[in-house]
Amino acid sequence: MAWWSVTTIWRWLRFLSKTVRLSALTARNPANLPLTIHELERHPLGTQAFIPMKGEVFVVVVALGDDKPDLSTLRAFITNGEQGVNYHRNVWHHPLFAWQRVTDFLTIDRGGSDNCDVESIPEQELCFA
């Protein structure tokens, strides 16, 4: 893993802040098993990325679909804590689940404030093998 100087990171963040929305997001509580979801969201205007700030493991939930999510394609993944996720434009996903502890993320949203469609879905219980 590469570590950059504070000055380099600051310059990079200043550049990004002119073109994208940056924020810090805290997933306040770890998820309880089984995971249950009631809605999915997508971002039609741009990508959205999440990077865990302290190497915490988190859960990614995604589905294919055009106007509505195709629940037959619903998948959940557990990250290894050393990777972030970048959702392509229009990918249906659930907001992040922290896995084992409270998790802080750097969030990069390239679509602006009107960049979120939310779709209610029948309750889905997610299990992991």
pLDDT tens for the chain, 129 residues long, are 455 666 676 676 666 655 566 666 766 678 888 889 999 999 998 888 888 888 889 999 999 999 999 999 999 999 998 899 999 999 999 988 888 888 888 888 776 667 889 999 999 888 765
What does the pLDDT read at residue 30? 85
Q: In which order are the strands placed within the sheet that holds 103-109?
A: 21-27, 103-109, 48-52, 85-87
pTM to 2 decimal places: 0.77
Domain borders along the chain are 21-126
**What Å distances lie between residue 57 and 69, 71, 73, 75, 107, CA to CA?**
25, 24, 23, 17, 16
When the candidates are 1.10.3430.10, 3.40.50.2000, 3.30.930.10, 2.60.120.480, the CATH number that belongs to 21-126 is 2.60.120.480
